[in-house]
Amino acid sequence: MAQILERDGYECIWCRRPIEVGLNRATTEHLIPRVKGGPSWIENEVAACRGCNGRRGHTSAAEWLDECERLGTNPNRQAVIHALDALRDRVTAQGGNRRMRPHLDRQLRRLLR
Protein backbone atom coordinates (compact mmCIF):
# COMPACT_ATOMS: atom_id res chain seq x y z
CA MET A 1 0.00 0.00 0.00
CA ALA A 2 2.82 2.42 0.87
CA GLN A 3 4.40 1.97 -2.59
CA ILE A 4 1.07 2.54 -4.32
CA LEU A 5 0.31 5.68 -2.28
CA GLU A 6 3.77 7.03 -3.01
CA ARG A 7 3.38 6.34 -6.74
CA ASP A 8 -0.16 7.73 -7.15
CA GLY A 9 -0.29 10.32 -4.38
CA TYR A 10 -1.93 9.99 -1.00
CA GLU A 11 -5.48 10.17 -2.30
CA CYS A 12 -8.20 7.93 -3.69
CA ILE A 13 -7.63 7.63 -7.42
CA TRP A 14 -11.39 7.89 -8.07
CA CYS A 15 -12.57 10.70 -5.75
CA ARG A 16 -9.26 12.25 -4.69
CA ARG A 17 -10.11 12.22 -0.99
CA PRO A 18 -6.95 12.02 1.12
CA ILE A 19 -6.03 8.54 2.36
CA GLU A 20 -3.16 7.36 4.53
CA VAL A 21 -1.48 4.07 5.28
CA GLY A 22 -3.20 2.29 8.13
CA LEU A 23 -6.56 4.04 7.92
CA ASN A 24 -9.52 1.72 7.67
CA ARG A 25 -10.81 3.32 4.48
CA ALA A 26 -7.59 2.90 2.45
CA THR A 27 -7.76 -0.07 0.10
CA THR A 28 -5.97 -1.28 -2.99
CA GLU A 29 -8.06 -1.87 -6.04
CA HIS A 30 -7.35 -3.85 -9.19
CA LEU A 31 -7.66 -1.70 -12.33
CA ILE A 32 -8.30 -4.83 -14.38
CA PRO A 33 -10.58 -6.84 -12.07
CA ARG A 34 -9.46 -10.34 -11.14
CA VAL A 35 -12.65 -11.74 -12.71
CA LYS A 36 -11.35 -10.36 -16.03
CA GLY A 37 -7.91 -11.88 -15.58
CA GLY A 38 -6.26 -8.97 -13.78
CA PRO A 39 -3.23 -10.08 -11.77
CA SER A 40 -2.36 -9.03 -8.24
CA TRP A 41 0.68 -7.05 -9.38
CA ILE A 42 1.52 -3.56 -8.15
CA GLU A 43 1.09 -2.27 -11.73
CA ASN A 44 -2.56 -3.39 -11.61
CA GLU A 45 -3.33 -1.93 -8.20
CA VAL A 46 -4.24 1.63 -7.26
CA ALA A 47 -5.19 3.29 -3.98
CA ALA A 48 -8.91 3.76 -3.47
CA CYS A 49 -11.07 4.66 -0.54
CA ARG A 50 -13.32 1.86 0.68
CA GLY A 51 -16.43 3.63 -0.64
CA CYS A 52 -15.18 4.03 -4.22
CA ASN A 53 -13.75 0.52 -4.25
CA GLY A 54 -17.10 -0.94 -3.20
CA ARG A 55 -19.17 1.17 -5.59
CA ARG A 56 -16.99 0.35 -8.59
CA GLY A 57 -17.37 -3.40 -8.27
CA HIS A 58 -16.29 -5.05 -11.56
CA THR A 59 -16.93 -1.98 -13.73
CA SER A 60 -14.10 -1.32 -16.17
CA ALA A 61 -11.62 1.42 -15.29
CA ALA A 62 -12.64 3.55 -18.29
CA GLU A 63 -16.37 3.25 -17.51
CA TRP A 64 -15.77 4.04 -13.83
CA LEU A 65 -13.64 7.09 -14.71
CA ASP A 66 -16.49 8.37 -16.88
CA GLU A 67 -18.98 7.76 -14.08
CA CYS A 68 -16.75 9.50 -11.51
CA GLU A 69 -16.39 12.50 -13.80
CA ARG A 70 -20.15 12.56 -14.36
CA LEU A 71 -20.60 12.61 -10.57
CA GLY A 72 -18.04 15.43 -10.26
CA THR A 73 -15.45 13.59 -8.18
CA ASN A 74 -12.51 14.61 -10.43
CA PRO A 75 -10.74 11.21 -10.67
CA ASN A 76 -7.02 11.04 -11.39
CA ARG A 77 -7.24 10.02 -15.07
CA GLN A 78 -3.49 10.37 -15.64
CA ALA A 79 -2.64 8.02 -12.77
CA VAL A 80 -5.03 5.41 -14.17
CA ILE A 81 -3.51 5.70 -17.65
CA HIS A 82 0.01 5.55 -16.18
CA ALA A 83 -0.82 2.40 -14.17
CA LEU A 84 -2.43 0.71 -17.20
CA ASP A 85 0.62 1.59 -19.34
CA ALA A 86 2.93 0.10 -16.70
CA LEU A 87 0.76 -3.02 -16.58
CA ARG A 88 0.91 -3.37 -20.36
CA ASP A 89 4.69 -2.98 -20.26
CA ARG A 90 5.03 -5.70 -17.63
CA VAL A 91 2.73 -8.07 -19.51
CA THR A 92 4.73 -7.47 -22.68
CA ALA A 93 8.02 -8.15 -20.90
CA GLN A 94 6.80 -11.11 -18.85
CA GLY A 95 4.33 -12.72 -21.25
CA GLY A 96 1.26 -14.69 -20.30
CA ASN A 97 -2.02 -13.16 -19.12
CA ARG A 98 -3.79 -13.85 -22.40
CA ARG A 99 -7.20 -13.55 -20.79
CA MET A 100 -6.48 -10.03 -19.55
CA ARG A 101 -4.72 -8.56 -22.59
CA PRO A 102 -7.79 -7.76 -24.75
CA HIS A 103 -9.48 -6.03 -21.80
CA LEU A 104 -6.32 -4.05 -21.01
CA ASP A 105 -5.93 -2.96 -24.64
CA ARG A 106 -9.59 -1.85 -24.83
CA GLN A 107 -9.22 0.20 -21.64
CA LEU A 108 -6.12 1.99 -22.90
CA ARG A 109 -7.63 2.69 -26.33
CA ARG A 110 -10.74 4.14 -24.73
CA LEU A 111 -8.81 6.30 -22.27
CA LEU A 112 -6.37 7.61 -24.88
CA ARG A 113 -9.03 8.75 -27.37
CATH classification of 2-111 is 2.60.40, yes or no?
A: no
Digitized pLDDT (tens) for each residue of the chain, 113 residues in all: 888 888 888 899 999 998 866 655 678 899 999 888 899 999 999 999 988 999 998 899 999 999 999 999 999 999 999 999 999 999 999 987 888 999 999 999 999 98
Instruction: Give the Cα separation of 24 and 54 in Å (integer).
Output: 14
Cβ 50 vs Cβ 86: under 8 Å: no
Domain residue extents for the chain: 2-111
Distance of CA 58 to the CA centre of its chain: 11
